[in-house]
């Protein structure tokens, strides 16, 4: 693991972390506030946040004893871009196939004439 995409995708692979991200997309929040809805210890959530920070999806700012977390959507660009490229590659291949088949059809028609 070294590529940024590895960290981004790994971060997105867990439902707790995706839920945290969704909350943060709506605004900053403290660790305790984020952890409250989850049926797990504060420490567990703290670890999830660390993985989100490693992926650069979450930024931390200290205000006294509170750690205020904010959302950084930048890494999602690369993730989204990679996925969409895959989908594009697939459909372009399909297009090629369709074109080949269409050309074949044209040939058959030609032969019949």
Minimum Å gap between C-beta 25 and DNA is 18
Shortest reach from residue 47's CB to its own copies, in Å: 17
* Closest approach of DNA to the CB of residue 45, in Å: 8
Closest CA to 11 of 50, 43, 61: 50
What is the CB-side half-sphere exposure of residue 30 using CA atoms within 13 A?
A: 9
- Binding partner selected for residue 51 from DNA, its own copies, none, CB under the kind-specific 5 to 8 Å limit: DNA
Determine contact, residues 25/71, Cβ cutoff 8 Å. yes
The residue from 9, 56, 59, 67 that contacts its own copies (CB under 8 A) is 9
Find out whether 71 and 29 touch, Cβ atoms under 8 Å.
Answer: no
Spatial separation of the C-alpha atoms in residues 96 and 70, rounded to whole Å: 44
Cβ atoms of residues 67 and 28 within 8 Å: no
Q: How far is the CB of 4 from its own copies (least distance, A)?
A: 11
Residues that bind its own copies (CB under 8 A): 3, 5-6, 9-10, 12-15, 18, 21-22, 25-28, 30, 33, 71, 73, 76-77, 79-80, 82-84, 86-87, 89-90, 93, 99-100, 102-103, 106-107, 110
């Amino acid at each position: 693991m070294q590529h940024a995409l590895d960290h981004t995708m790994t971060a997105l692979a867990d439902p707790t972390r995706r839920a945290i991200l969704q909350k943060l997309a709506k605004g900053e929040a403290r660790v305790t506030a984020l952890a409250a809805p989850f049926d797990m210890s504060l420490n567990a959530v703290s670890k999830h946040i660390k993985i989100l920070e490693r992926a650069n999806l979450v930024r931390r700012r200290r205000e006294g004893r509170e750690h205020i977390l904010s959302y950084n959507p930048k890494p999602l660009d690369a993730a989204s871009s990679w996925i969409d490229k895959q989908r594009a590659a697939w459909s372009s291949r399909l297009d090629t196939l369709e074109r080949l088949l269409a050309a074949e059809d044209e040939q058959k028609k030609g032969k019949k004439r």
